[in-house]
Chains A and B, each alone.
Chain A
Amino acid sequence: MTRHLLIALVLVALLPTGAAAQVTFERLLNAEDEPHNWLTYSGTYSSNRHTKLDQIRKDNLDDLELSWVFQAGSLEAFQATPLVVDGIMYLTEPVNNVVAIDAKRGSVFWKYEYNVSSDARPCCGAVNRGLAILDDTLFLATLDGNLIGIDAIAGEPIWQTTVADPTQGYALTLAPLVVKDKVIVGVAGGEYGIRGFIDAYDAATGELAWRFHTIPGPGEPGHETWENDAWMTGGASAWLTGSYDPDLDLTYWGIGNPGPDLNPAQRPGDNLYSDSVVALDPDTGELEWYFQFTPNDPYDYDSVQIPVLIDAPDGNGGNLKLMLWGNRNGFFYVLDRESGRFLNGTNFVPVNWASGLDDFGRPVQTPQPPGTTTFPGIQGGTNWYSPSYSPETGLFYVSAWESYGSNFEPIEQEHQPGRVFLGGRPANPFGAGANVPGLRRGHINNWTDAAGGGAVIAIDPRNGQQRWRVPMTDVTSSGILTSASNLLFTGNREGHFHVMDAETGDLLWRKTLGGMIANGPMSYMVDAKQYVAVAAGHSLFVYALKD
């Protein structure tokens, strides 16, 4: 090697990495200012899944047509939301493969194939919800408990670190969240008697920066809400992506159910921080505040839903910093995200497990007699399906399961590491063999209205009242995207991808895609053309206006 070449290589190595950086933290902070991209799982740190793009409008929806399709080489459920960075789409192909795609044409640049260990034991499907990105590195959380940094240009892994042991029931199904120079993830496994946690890793090296245990250990505040050793197997997973407020410098994460899921007698107490939202310092993982939605939950009402952050006028010339939450327990909440203070809450689906919320937002629980039906049932009034908030309409939109119930039967169960730890079972209210909504769906729907149905519900956060609702025959697992042109894009388990008027709920356009829609639609722009992407069945469908 010549001396000159050596000097040149050293100089290249010493170039500031920011010079070639693809997505800086600054860009993530200001993602709203580049709506042609989709830089985080929910679009922006406020997680409102709303696009400022308005090329697709009510008056040109007839020109909306299929632009391209990506067919996954997997039959697992497709729940991922893609990222798009300057014309490149980054997508997880179920379960943990990563593909870089020409976002205009659907052509694949590279594919990183990850073989999931046979030790993985997800409770509810081998799923993944997407990626995070910082600079030129993508971050993939895997079903068998690893976090991997991947070169976004070359498609090669840069580092890999073990987050949790899959043989104990831990899994990673979420899209990570990048805040500053850290990658934040939470673990799934609430059905296996894990002790949940949220971790932050150095984005450059993959080294653990901090860990927040979602169940406080001995001597920590909140530990007194558990008795005996129940805290060691109490679940409290964190399997959906959190949000971030840069002004308050707090990151917000929803926490899952306590375990065993259905037998609260085995874990007396409020079981903090299960079924709560926690506000954490992103630099240290220290808890700033928490709010618990369902104390001592006997119904598997995970509170992992996406925290939607909005600012609203306080009437005195200032702004209230709010958090909107459509919870699996059937209630819609508005919280003060500076303090965690409860502001108001209203049920958005029929509930009978609680008669309402007290002044502090604590539910007044009304357990139903054995053998009778509790509403909502075990899958909840909503679940992982991303909600949306539109600053244009001022409405919060949630995908709901209405009038759907389960009969709960607690059973004493001893915990065995790595084994399912439910402490009971949800019984079908209509008897064994009757068709009711569940985790999955076949081609045939022959249940009656009594089994429940789906809906898109528009809620006014100012008073919790429903502005409109669009009922569906089947329940829905689809997320919701709203746009600056007052369109609402969503799907359902019947395979319909439909567009509604965000102000009225009127159906404007629909297509049948032939498979269950279980991801959140997103939008981006390449070469001055707006695209909308949605996954149905085992494929990603991308729509745009005709040329």
Chain B
Amino acid sequence: MRVRWRLRPVRAVLSDGTVLDGRRLNEDTYTIQLIDQDERLRSLEKAELRELAAVTESPMPPATDVLDEQEMADVLAYLLTLKGF
């Protein structure tokens, strides 16, 4: 599944090899601000990164990998009962 580009997931590799997976909050020419997989706010200097890349695939696994056909039908049936919007 493609993700909405405003919620762009990114992967940053720090100079010590630490890999940060997160979601970009803001970016400029020299820095990037993100929320990492541990829900910490991080501000990184691009020039100090070994790697910075946009992740184009959603980190959320496809529902069909987690739910079987009946479970998927149950979830959809439940969602259709929701009202109030």
Contact = CB atoms under 8 A, between A and B. Distances in A.
A443 B8 contact: no
Given A434-B6, A448-B54, A472 B29 contact: yes
A434 B24 CA distance: 15
A490 to B, nearest CB: 12
Nearest to B47: A507
Interface string B12-56: 000000000000111111100000000000000000000000100
B5 interface: yes
- DSSP majority for the A interface? loop
Report which residue of A434, A443, A448 has the largest number of chain B beta carbons within 10 angstroms of its beta carbon. A448
Contacts of A362: none
A53 B5 CA distance: 46
Interface in A10-43: none
Interface string A471-514: 11110000000000000000010101000000000000010000
B54 A494 contact: no
A435 interface: yes
Contacts of B30: 496, 510
A474 B28 contact: yes
Interface residues of B, number: 11
Contacts of B26: 443-446
A22 B26 CA distance: 49
Contacts of B25: 444, 446
A474 B29 contact: yes
B29 A492 contact: yes
- DSSP majority for the B interface? mixed
A430 B4 CA distance: 11
- By size class, the interface of chain A is 10 to 19
A543 to B, nearest CB: 18
B50 to A, nearest CB: 19
A226 to B, nearest CB: 43
Contacts of A473: 27-29
Contacts of B24: 446
B28 A446 contact: no
Contacts of A443: 26
A454 B29 CA distance: 9
Interface string A446-470: 1110000010000000000000000
Contact of B29 (A434, A435, A496): A496
Contacts of B28: 445, 473-474, 494, 496
Nearest to A433: B6
B29 A446 contact: no
Nearest to B33: A444
A494 B29 contact: yes
A305 to B, nearest CB: 23
A444 B54 CA distance: 17
A443 to B, nearest CB: 7
Nearest to B54: A448
B85 to A, nearest CB: 19
Nearest to A435: B6
Report which residue of B6, B28, B29 has the largest number of chain A beta carbons within 10 angstroms of its beta carbon. B29
B43 to A, nearest CB: 12
Nearest to B7: A446
Contact of B5 (A444, A445, A448, A474): A448
Nearest to A442: B26
A510 B30 CA distance: 10
Contacts of B8: 446, 448
A447 B5 CA distance: 7
A492 B30 CA distance: 12
A454 B30 CA distance: 13
A496 B24 CA distance: 20
Nearest to A470: B29
A492 B28 CA distance: 10
The 8 closest A-B pairs by CB, nearest first: A494-B28, A472-B29, A473-B29, A444-B26, A448-B5, A473-B28, A446-B6, A445-B27
Given A473-B27, A496-B30, A510-B30, 4 more contacts: A446-B24, A447-B5, A471-B29, A496-B29
18 contacts: A430-B5, A443-B26, A444-B26, A445-B26, A445-B27, A445-B28, A446-B6, A446-B24, A446-B27, A448-B5, A454-B29, A472-B29, A473-B27, A473-B29, A474-B29, A492-B29, A496-B29, A510-B30
